[in-house]
Structure 1
Amino acid sequence: MARVRLIDVAERAQVSMKTVSNVVNGYAHVQPDMRARVQAAIDELGYRPNLTARRLATGKTGMIALAMPEIDHPYFGEMASHLADIAMQRGYRVIIEQTLSDPEAEKAVLQDREAGLVDGVIFQPTRMATLDIARLHDDLPLVLLGEVDAPVTTDHVMIDNVAAARDGAAHLLALGRRRVAFLGLVDGDITMTNRRRLLGYQEALVGSGIRPDPALVLTTRGFESHDAETAITLALEGGVELDAILCRDDRFAAGALTAIRARGLRVPDDIAVIGWDDSAITGYTTPTLTSIAPDKRQLAANAFDLLHERMQGHHGPGRHVIVPHAVAVRASAPRA
């Protein structure tokens, strides 16, 4: 089949080629109804931008990079899916890079690996210092995700992890639970995410007149479900009394469910459990999993919008965007 051209889309949408070009390149000034008409024609005809021609004409590749710690983590996989979908609707393609939280791999994202390949980067670092980010990204359009402190010139999109943890713990306290565990801290983990979640958990306890018990802050050897399962098993075998658990992610929560069941205890009757990320696995655990739910679609949309403005020449100071979260209530910690 012959390649679908820009003029073919223009004829199908009954608009000028300039209008189609503006939609493909993501220019913001196109009227919403016109954009929808052009996008419908693009979808119907299966038009894909000629990236080589675009780069020669505009100096742009039409590609962005998404760099994240783990591509097989449910949260990051879902974020990548949302961003790829949003980018495609705006005429961009996404290159995904995994850093595994390695400092050198994170530096390479900004230093030289993406040079000339992409028009901008959306990046969730875990190890890089603020000064390194400021020094290395230079003029490359960049938006940060997650808990890292952003340079004053860099855009940053995140949820409020302190508030989210406070809301999750408050939900458990509202169920009448008083021995709420935090699962948990990970040996060797130096990132800010869990520190802020621990703070929110502690604030909820203190706000309810409960003195935080260090024995209820559980530590694991790693980040996998079996690490969480081991931590809960050791706590229960060691006589730690708990009636609820706030987990650092849904994988930890799945491990906690397995450990509780193996001890002959029931969820939520004996121990209520809340996960984090509201990933797809929440509907497949037994029982289904209550989870802290960041608005992942909005995170991806805000990150892309900020990056696109940078790619179009915006040079203002860094913007800090907080995206909403909720507690998605299911059977593991139902409402009272």
Structure 2
Amino acid sequence: MGGVRLQDVAALAGVSMKTVSNVVHDYPHVSDKMRTRVQAAIDELGYRPNLMGRRLATGRTGLIALAFASVEIPYFAELARVVSAAAHRRGYRVLLEETDATLDGERAVVSSSEAGMVDGVLFQPSTMTSQEIAQHRSDLPMVILGEGAAPLSIDRVMVDNVIAAHEATAHLAALGRTRIGFVGHERDGLSATSVQRIMGYQRALEEAGLTPDPALLIASEAVSAAGAVAGVGAAVDGGLVFDALVCRDDLAAIGALRALRERGIAVPGQVAITGWDNIHMSAVTFPSLTTIAPDLTALAERALAMLEERISGFGGIGRHEIVGHKLVVRESTGQPE
């Protein structure tokens, strides 16, 4: 029904406009009985809050944007689920925006394209430089996610990729593996993610008394499972010898599993494998994947808390914070003896 107003819902439900507003904004102090009554009136009338009207009345729309490369990447799909749930608890809805990891797509996120639509943005960049991000619209509150470019003027929440990659590699070294490769980084131009993970990988090798070998860096044409299948397959067919693989992410690990299985190489018997992200499917691959599990709940909660502070007027220097992670050991590596 077009033109349904908040007062129409209030009249049908027999409550005040304030009560309807409290239900719409999901305020916790509304009783379950009253919430059900008001929601029934909302559903019957087909009422939808007017975002522009809300912005004029309160200065806010109740929407925030979450921008990242692609929802086809399982990590981002799971990030979106966690952020949406956390935002809902804070009274926000989340608008997903895919950038396709292109410069134009990312520039659109930090430009005036979001003017008037959202109260703030959580943004995981893949392409933009720190300097360019710093020049974004200052009146659009923003928090950067991940290990990409992040100017000192903007808040950022991330996992320590260097330490996490070090832990995964050290786990493999503790198993007695001595030819440990790294799989899945970009063939043409390393992302910040790959740079940091390779750095942690190299440090762990050196601490274990192993000499880093550039031949063991197995790149992909694209950051994908298919890219890893091709990369690992070509490496094996070309005679490269390794007994363990640190994979840039779980998709690369899944691709490595397939490439090795196709060639009759046992995991973890002949080659141990670690992934990264702890996506849901990592627990049900065969064998199940040992993987780095970022604390997505902590990341979402901290990022949203910072964004709310920015929305409310906080204008201090950017706060760069690290949330936790853990190494989840499964069948693809096994436990050290």
**Structure-2-length-normalised TM-score:** 0.87
* Shift of residue 288, structure 1, vs aligned partner: 0.8
Tell me the residue number matched to 1:115: 115
Is 1:237 matched up with 2:247? no
Over 3 Å counting, the alpha-carbon distance change for 1:40 and 1:294 in structure 2 is farther
**CA–CA separation in structure 2 for the residues paired with 1:330 and 1:175:** 13
**Partner of 2:246 in structure 1?**
246
- Counterpart of 1:216? 216
1:37 Cα deviation from its structure 2 partner: 4.4
Preserved contact between residue 39 and residue 89 of structure 1 (Cα < 8 Å): no
SS in structure 2 at match of 1:86: helix
Q: What corresponds to 1:92 in structure 2?
A: 92
Where does residue 139 of structure 2 map in the other structure?
A: 139
1:44-68 CA-to-partner distances (Å, cap 9, x unmatched) read 5658983444223112111111110
1:195 — aligned with what? Answer: 195
CA–CA distance in structure 1, aligned partners of residues 256 and 35 of structure 2: 44
Counterpart AA for 1:101: A
For residue 129 of structure 1, what is the aligned residue in structure 2? 129
Instruction: Name the counterpart of 2:65.
Output: 65
Any stretches of 5+ residues in structure 2 without a counterpart?
none
Report the counterpart of residue 56 of structure 1 in structure 2. Answer: 56
The 3 A distance-change label for structure 1 pair 43 and 327 is farther
Q: Which moved more, 1:193-202 or 1:136-145?
A: 136-145
Letter in 1 for 2:284: Y
Q: Once the two structures are superposed, what CA deviation does each residue of 1:250-285 show, in whole Å capped at 9, x if it has no partner?
A: 111011001111111111111111111000111221
Q: Are residues 1:331 and 2:331 paired?
A: yes
For residues 100-134 of structure 1, give each alpha carbon's deviation from its aligned partner in whole angstroms, at most 9, with x where no partner exists. Answer: 11111111111121111111011011111122111
Q: Secondary structure at the match of 1:153?
A: coil
Aligned pair count reads 324
Q: Name the counterpart of 1:311.
A: 311
Q: 1:242 to 1:133 in 2, by over 3 A?
A: same
> SS state of the match for residue 162, structure 2?
helix
Mapped to 1, the partners of 2:172 and 2:253 lie a distance apart of 14
Could you say what secondary structure the match of 1:334 adopts?
coil
Q: How far does residue 83 in structure 1 lie from its aligned partner after superposition?
A: 0.9
Q: What fraction of aligned residue pairs are identical, expressed as a percent? A: 42
Please tell me the residue identity of whatever aligns with 1:219: A
Match of 1:230, SS? Answer: helix
CA contact (8 A) 2:290 2:331 kept: yes
Q: Are residues 240 and 309 of structure 1, via their aligned partners in 2, closer, same or farther at CA, if it must alter by over 3 Å?
A: same
Query: Is the 2:184–2:223 contact (alpha carbons within 8 Å) kept by the matching residues of 1?
Result: no
Q: Give, as a single letter, the amino acid of the residue that structure 2 aligns with 1:84.
A: S
Q: Residue type of the partner of 1:200?
A: G
Provide the C-alpha distance between the structure 2 equivalents of 1:41 and 1:189, rounded to a whole number of angstroms. 57
Distance 2:253 2:31 in 1: 41
Q: SS at the partner of 1:137?
A: coil
8 Å CA contact 2:233–2:260 kept in 1: the answer is yes
TM-score when scaled to structure 1?
Answer: 0.88
Equivalent-residue separation in structure 1 for 2:6 and 2:288 (angstroms): 46
